[in-house]
Amino acid sequence: MKIIYRSFLICCFCMAGNVYGQSFYDISAIQKIEIYFSQPNWDYQLDTSRYGIDGYVIADWIRINGLQLDSVGVKYKGNSSYDSTYLKNPLHIALDEVKSQSYQGITDVKLGNGYADPSVIREVLAYSILENYMDCPRSNFAQLYINGNYIGVFSNDESINKDFCSSHFNSSKNTFFKCNPVVNPGPTTKSNLRYIPFADSSGYFNFYELKSDYGWNELVSLCDTVTNYPAAIANNLDMDRFIWMLAYNAVLVNLDSYSGVFCQNYYLYKDKTDRFDPIVWDLNMAFGGFPYAGSGISSMGSLTIANMQQFPPDFHASDPYWPVINVVMNDPSWRKMYFAHARTINNENFANNSYLATASQLQTTIDTAVQADINSFFTYAQFQNGMNTDYVVGSYSVPGISNLMSSRVAYLQTNTDFAYIPPVISSVSASDTTPMYNSNVDILAVVTNATAVYLKYKNSKSDRYTTLPLFDDGLHNDGAAGDQTFGNSFTVLSPQVYYYVYAENANAGMFSPQRAEHEFYRLQTVFQLPAPGQIVINEFLAGNVTDTVNEYGNHADWIELYNNSAVPVDLYGLYLTDDATNLNKFDFPQNTIIQPHDYLIIWADEESDSPNYMHCNFKLSVNGEGIWLSDGQSIVIDSAVFGPQVTDISLGRCPNGTGNFISLSPTTYNISNCPLSVQEISEKNNIHIYPNPGSDIVFVQSEMVGRVAVTIENTIGAVVHKLSYTLISQNQLIIIDIKELKAGYYFLRLESDRHSSIKPLVKQ
């Protein structure tokens, strides 16, 4: 069988312009956000709500970079960063609080007010570093105006919600917690994942906030494992992500976190591997902006700037009230991985001073906006000197970022665990970078100064990694024994394989790539891709209110694929997504076969599959977005980009399987989109219509003579226009007024006593 290698990009259909403009989280740009309240006492209402039920106050409208949305929810947020006396409080804006609407698919806007940060860039700089090592929110800056008055410069941080989980963890309906104490935590009770012996889960209610429909028992089980069965912790918690988080907190002295006194400001989401993933949140006090490490068996109390510059990276190693830190620091391999990650963060950002260039760019971006910010907590001069000058904030000093980190780098490089010499992984290679499915692939790594080398690989981004030892014994296609080339093989059983190498010696570890598991090497398996036009996105519904229901009885969005060919096609190896930057968001399982000239419905509702129904891990936005069918990397099989939609009206190809997208009402779920076949339209084409598309009047010519009936039908066959004409010669002109027709797709039919012809007609 011939293997097809080609890129097939179908032109995107867009109803209302490109919805993918400049990213709302572009770090090089400032977003402009304007809010209008008709209530003259809007600030009082926001304060009252903050102290009361913490509900939203409804603003008349919001305008984001010129796009206006009506009726949005606004409330103040934050703990120490909020105060009713402040003129500049942090905000949570819910664009969809009153009605379904979004900006670039975003429904939640989170704005931080820069409290306790003279540099103004702490949070954005901290996230720009973290995104290299963990899935985390995007962050940049926004200028906020309320009722025409400039409030100031804010950090603009992506919300950690179900959309975030769907994008990063390929699901959104699993157990989901925000780990922040609801009440003031104590030294022994906080969001630290320590088991609380209690008759039921209610003992955890004050320290964790449930964000999903269920999950308390799963949290209790996690805490029980962490505290009482630490050897099994990797079954319940993604340890690599947690180790990255702990290493990041230590290097950046980010103590308003799990590593500090309150063990807070992170989320936990349970992914498809049945493990909890940590997600860092709230970095406005990174770089020593929060000086409280916590007490217990280890005690340093409130830290001075000198304390923070020399903050021990293994702090809390033996304190039982930081149980995950205990587990990591007391397991020899995890401890080596922790310091490997910490070395990577330090070397890539601080030892080489690259963070200073990023900080300078950020401050330049917001310089003019900061000068105009009369509500800032600091002067413009303090902003200019915020990188290298320490300032007193309340009862403690906040270090200048470079003051902290320059001394911290010097300290870390003298730390015993940092100073250990790790293995050197000079190369990693595969015997075949584009292997055939079900073939064996050798992975080779050239490693020195190592006592053990491992390959970690997985067949899907949502799988756990499998560990395979690599050998230098001459028996695993690794060359000669003892030549420092380590190897082993595995069988490729998926469209893409993700892998990395980890090596360690008695004292230290090393990853390749060094940002693993967040980054990895990839093998792209050779699959027979559908030929151009063979499989298409045929119809989709974004905004299902009264249309077809799924097996759970829910009105959910759906996507219909169609096989234009005369042979069955297996979709295994293809991916579906609503994010052009994340093409492998949803992977089709094995044996997903579409029969010839048949359909496949994918419910876009984030539900779980059942025997006869397929569900993907994203929803469609009624405000407009895109759908892509691809190989998960660079080859796009088909795509459709669409603007704002009307509920219960789908977009479908007409003619079925090959035509342009038109609005369909009613929808044609799992059946042909048009009443006519492609063959019927193409064979009876002796009609000429112009202009087509038309708006007011169209001219029709044909070869017919005599009495001719002219009928215009909509896409479900209903007659919307009918007249009779007597034609005395071929190609005689017929003039038809279509001004009263609604914009859309129609069929114009000519019938005489001997002939019948039909042709599509588009009304603009």
- Beta-carbon-side half-sphere exposure of residue 48 (alpha carbons within 13 Å): 6
Q: Are residues 645 and 743 in the same domain?
A: no
Structure tokens at 259: 């590593």
| Residue 616's CATH number | 2.60.40.1260
Q: Are residues 576 and 501 in the same domain?
A: no
Q: Is residue 9 part of a domain?
A: no
SS3 343: helix
| Residue 449's CATH number | 2.60.40.10
Sequence letter at residue 727: L
Q: Is residue 371 part of a domain?
A: no
CA dist., res. 487 & res. 469, Å (int): 8
C-alpha dihedral, 301 to 306 to 309 to 312, nearest 10°: -40
Dump strand ranges (E) for 95-170.
108-112, 139-146, 149-157
CB 156 within 8 A of CB 139: yes
Q: Is residue 10 part of a domain?
A: no
CB 101 within 8 A of CB 95: yes
The confidence score (pLDDT) of residue 753 equals 67
What domain count does the chain have? Answer: 5
Q: Is residue 670 part of a domain?
A: no
Q: Are residues 51 and 200 in the same domain?
A: no
CA dist., res. 298 & res. 672, Å (int): 70
Phi then psi dihedrals of residue 167, to 5 deg: -70, -35
| Residue 735's CATH number | 2.60.40.3080
For 233, 294, 311, 318, the CA distances from 315, given in Å and listed in that order, are 20, 10, 8, 8
CA dist., res. 713 & res. 730, Å (int): 24
Q: Are residues 563 and 599 in the same domain?
A: yes
The confidence score (pLDDT) of residue 715 equals 63
Query: Cα angle at 275 between 274 and 278, to 5 degrees?
Result: 145
The count of other CB atoms within 10 Å of the CB of residue 25 is 18
Q: Are residues 271 and 150 in the same domain?
A: no
Residue 411's Cβ-count burial label (10 Å; 0-12, 13-18, 19+) is middle
Sequence letter at residue 132: N
Q: Are residues 188 and 284 in the same domain?
A: yes
Q: Are residues 301 and 249 in the same domain?
A: yes
pLDDT in tens, 304-321: 999 999 999 999 999 999
Q: Are residues 324 and 297 in the same domain?
A: yes
- Beta-carbon-side half-sphere exposure of residue 598 (alpha carbons within 13 Å): 11
The confidence score (pLDDT) of residue 695 equals 85
pLDDT in tens, 345-395: 999 999 999 999 999 999 999 999 999 999 999 999 999 999 999 999 888
Among 664, 691, 715, where does a domain finish? 664
For 244, 461, 594, 635, the CA distances from 494, given in Å and listed in that order, are 28, 11, 19, 17
Q: Which residue range(s) make up the domain with 276? A: 162-362+393-419
pTM of the full structure: 0.83
Q: Is residue 253 part of a domain?
A: yes
Among 125, 157, 189, where does a domain finish? 157
CB 122 within 8 A of CB 286: yes
The confidence score (pLDDT) of residue 400 equals 97
Q: Are residues 41 and 147 in the same domain?
A: yes
CB 756 within 8 A of CB 750: yes
Q: Are residues 614 and 730 in the same domain?
A: no
For 125, 468, 587, the CA distances from 471, given in Å and listed in that order, are 41, 10, 33
The confidence score (pLDDT) of residue 682 equals 39
Q: Which of 655, 652, 556, 568 is nearest to 607 (CA)?
A: 556
The confidence score (pLDDT) of residue 748 equals 84
CB 163 within 8 A of CB 176: no
Sequence letter at residue 128: S
Q: Is residue 706 part of a domain?
A: yes
* Positions of the chain with pLDDT under 50: 1-21, 296-299, 677-685
Q: Which of 726, 697, 696, 694 is nearest to 710 (CA)?
A: 726
Query: Cα angle at 467 between 463 and 471, to 5 degrees?
Result: 150
CA dist., res. 606 & res. 669, Å (int): 19
Among 503, 524, 545, where does a domain finish? 524
Q: Are residues 540 and 494 in the same domain?
A: no
Q: Which of 593, 299, 589, 639 is nearest to 463 (CA)?
A: 589
Q: Are residues 192 and 255 in the same domain?
A: yes
Q: Which of 510, 501, 486, 498 is nearest to 454 (CA)?
A: 501
Q: Is residue 381 part of a domain?
A: no
Q: Is residue 583 part of a domain?
A: yes
